[in-house]
Structure 1
Amino acid sequence: MQTDLLAWLRWVLIPNLGLKRSHQLLNLIDSPQALFLHPDRWPLPDSIKQTIREMNLLGEQHPIHRRAVEQCRWAEADQHHLILPMDDHYPEKLTYIEDAPLILWGVGDPTLLSNTQVGIVGSRHASHNALRHTKAISRDLALAGVTLTSGGAKGVDAACHQAAVDQQGTTIAVLGCGVDVIYPKINRTLFSDIRQQGLLLSEYPLGTQPKPGHFPRRNRLISALSDIVVVIEAATQSGSLITAAHALDQGKDIFAMPGDIGNPNCAGCHQLIRDGAYILTSADDLLQHLNWRADAHANRTNNSAPELTPVQQQIVKVLQCDQLPLDSLAHQLNLAVHQLLEPILELELSGLIEQQPGGYTLCDIA
């Protein structure tokens, strides 16, 4: 068991020590061991000094020491990683933020942390169209070889990760809990897939349960790791806008997808665009902004699609913007309902559109 790693874990696991105070101490202390050798030398609250004295007194019997040993042993398993700032896998991008984590817990492939990354965030209760656009954009980015980074939540986050997994691409899920905690439960299978071809990442120790305050802090890591941050459907008071604010503070460029002006879930994106964010229309916007290498971009494989008649092309174009019942679709296209029955049936059979309670809509892109 690595002595340095155990010392760092003991440090990080001290209650209420915090990152801000830890970074202040690191300007004074040469090694984590020094914190425990001379606790009274350092500018610390009495309660923390007392905790360190108790740790020194009880040694291996102290609960914090035992917990640190457990986390060290966890890292001995395949695909389990504890990443310190001096390790090769610690991302350089995180060293530029003031409150960089002292330890990262990871499950999967930590080499992805050095990849070019696009952070994609948005509503947990995203509309069907927002999820469809998220999947299409994420699919194209994954096929181009870009690593997709998001927060592992339901909605836009999950759609982003799932699209990358479906294309055998790479994705990083930055969690607001321990990497051994499944949250939300609905993403259990998705997280299992990410472990195999991506990375689950957290600054929170094993066993940490999700709490509301964890997620805004998690968002600063998503933006810090990402070369570009994309916001797809977000309200004005949302975690996605917190991520965007962190991105601005970190000097990152932001893309926002415009949406329905009557949908409050789109108001945050419209606010970002008013404030100067780039308008997102497709993955090409992002790839061009990144000056993504031409060979990687050219390697994208387009799914073969059946040749569409002019009427079918009009139907698909209209449904890209909205979900419509048959009579409204006929009105939009200035056609009789009976003229649409055959082309719509063919589109349904080809898997391009589907009928839902609110009308016809484009199918999700796998």
Structure 2
Amino acid sequence: MNITEDELRARLQIWRAVGIGPATLNRLLNHFGSAVAALDGSDAELAKAGLKPDTLQNLRSVPIEATLADLEWLHRAQHRHILVPEDPRYPKLLRDLKAAPPILFVAGQPELLNEPQLAMVGSRTPTTYGKENAQAFAQYLAKHGITVTSGLALGIDAVSHQGALEAGGTTIAVIATGLDIIYPAKNRSLAERIVEHGAIVSEFPIGVKPQAQNFPRRNRIISGLSLGSLVVEAALQSGSLVTAQHALEQGREVFAIPGSIHSPLAHGCHRLIRQGAKLVETAADILEELTPQLHAYLGSTAMPTALALSTTQASKPIKPTKPLSFLKSLTTQENTEERSEAKLDPEEQQILATIGLEPIPIDQIVLQTGLTPDVVSSMLLMLELQGYIAACGGGRYQRL
């Protein structure tokens, strides 16, 4: 981790003091040179470094034993990590932010934090339309090498994580509690899967319980890790709009899926679009928009001929371990090959075979394929997002 254990203990101790955030801890490190020296400093020197009397009192009241919970969590099981900015595994996109967390607790694969990510956020009580969109977009992005990042909340967050996992991709959950607490508890099994196939991240020490003020703070990390944020469904007072605002302030892209003018859960997305967020109808729209950033992210202005990219030396930009297969289709004349029907799942091929240039109702597709209505609806949405078919209204679809 590129710092001594004593320095880590000292930073963990300071980080637990009420009233000390990223800016204050960084100011102490700059003033004293280390957290160990800051804790050994006199009250007068700490005040000179900018600590107010109540914050100074809070710092002095944190015993060194308080850090035992963090260190015991770290050493109790495999695949647990505590990252500081000096660690090469610390996410570069996050390190560059003014409010970058000085400590990150990670369960799972910390290497994923430096891979291309898209944040997906939305309502905790989404419509069926919203859930289907979140699942389809997450699956498509994951299949094309993008890690899906969200907040492990109920609703759109959970569906986005699940969609990425179902596609065999990776996903990152940023939570607003200590990593020993899964909130909501309903998502515990999902969290276990994320640790196996991704990572769970928090800036909060072990033992920190859910607190309302910590969730907006968590959202800046979700957006900060990602190249862009996609808002799937959001009411006007949704926390998802906080994530979008953080993304704008961080210079990230903001995407929004439009919905019905009569749906309250579309109003937040529509406001974002009016304010300049990019309206997206397909997941491919997002990938096209992010392509220039991904070129820079991969550390090359020229398109690589081979897209099986692997992690390089720490001194170079960290490259994704999964192929970004969509880049070739966006920058060559091989779009038709990339969209070959042979690349579709068997069920998708079966459904596509029943759809011609004349609109066909969904119940007829169900009848001809023998698949369940739920499966057909999900597959139709995926095919529409990938540009194979178009919805014609009245529950009918036609081939493009």
TM category (shorter chain) comes to 0.7 to 0.9
Task: State which drifts further: 70-79 or 213-222.
Answer: 70-79
- For 1:16, the equivalent position in structure 2 comes to 19
Partner SS, residue 159 of structure 1: helix
Q: Is the 8 A contact 2:216 2:242 kept in 1?
A: yes
The alpha-carbon deviation at position 232 of structure 1 amounts to 0.5
Q: Distance in 2 between matches of 1:18 and 1:67?
A: 17
Residues 227-246 of structure 1 aligned to structure 2 (within 5 Å): 227-246=227-246
Measured at CA, do residues 314 and 18 of structure 1 come closer, stay the same or move farther in structure 2, by a change above 3 Å?
same
The alpha-carbon deviation at position 53 of structure 1 amounts to 4.8
Q: Distance in 2 between matches of 1:263 and 1:53?
A: 51
Q: Distance in 1 between matches of 2:57 and 2:261?
A: 56
Measured at CA, do residues 184 and 52 of structure 1 come closer, stay the same or move farther in structure 2, by a change above 3 Å?
closer
Q: Distance in 2 between matches of 1:312 and 1:256?
A: 31
Report Cα offsets for 1:243-293 as digits up to 9, x if no partner: 111111111111100001100110010111111111111111111112267
Bigger Rg, structure 1 or 2 = 1
Q: Is the 8 A contact 1:19 1:100 kept in 2?
A: yes
- For 2:138, the equivalent position in structure 1 comes to 138
The alpha-carbon deviation at position 240 of structure 1 amounts to 0.6
Q: Is the 8 A contact 1:176 1:202 kept in 2?
A: yes
Q: Distance in 2 between matches of 1:186 and 1:53?
A: 38
Partner SS, residue 37 of structure 2: helix
Q: Is the 8 A contact 2:131 2:156 kept in 1?
A: yes
Extract unaligned runs of 5+ from structure 2. Answer: 295-302, 308-323, 330-337, 383-400
- For 1:222, the equivalent position in structure 2 comes to 222
Q: Report the number of matched residues.
A: 327
Residues 176-325 of structure 1 aligned to structure 2 (within 5 Å): 176-291=176-291, 296-297=325-326, 301-304=343-346, 305=348, 306=350, 307-310=353-356, 314-316=360-362
- For 2:367, the equivalent position in structure 1 comes to 345
2:36 matched to 1:29?
Answer: no
Report Cα offsets for 1:326-359 as digits up to 9, x if no partner: xxxxxxxxxxxxxx6x654345x313x249xxxx
Partner SS, residue 42 of structure 1: helix
Q: Which runs of 4+ in 1 moved over 6 A?
A: none
The alpha-carbon deviation at position 224 of structure 1 amounts to 0.8
- For 1:39, the equivalent position in structure 2 comes to 42
Q: Distance in 1 between matches of 2:267 and 2:223?
A: 20
Q: Is the 8 A contact 2:233 2:268 kept in 1?
A: yes
Report Cα offsets for 1:12-57 as digits up to 9, x if no partner: 11222233322332331200011111131112233443455566xx
Given the two structures, how large is their TM-score scaled by the length of structure 2?
A: 0.76
Partner SS, residue 111 of structure 1: helix
Q: Distance in 1 between matches of 2:194 and 2:141?
A: 16
- For 1:66, the equivalent position in structure 2 comes to 65
Q: Is the 8 A contact 1:104 1:203 kept in 2?
A: yes
Task: State which drifts further: 201-210 or 43-52.
Answer: 43-52
- For 2:112, the equivalent position in structure 1 comes to 112
The alpha-carbon deviation at position 229 of structure 1 amounts to 0.8
Report Cα offsets for 1:114-148 as digits up to 9, x if no partner: 10111111111111011111111110110111111
The alpha-carbon deviation at position 3 of structure 1 amounts to 1.4
Report Cα offsets for 1:81-122 as digits up to 9, x if no partner: 111111111112112322211110110000001101111111
Extract unaligned runs of 5+ from structure 1. Answer: 56-63, 317-339, 356-360
Q: RMSD over aligned Cα, in angstroms? A: 2.4
Partner SS, residue 362 of structure 1: helix
Q: Distance in 2 between matches of 1:209 and 1:53?
A: 22
- Match 1:362 to one of 353, 377, 380: 377
Partner SS, residue 165 of structure 1: helix
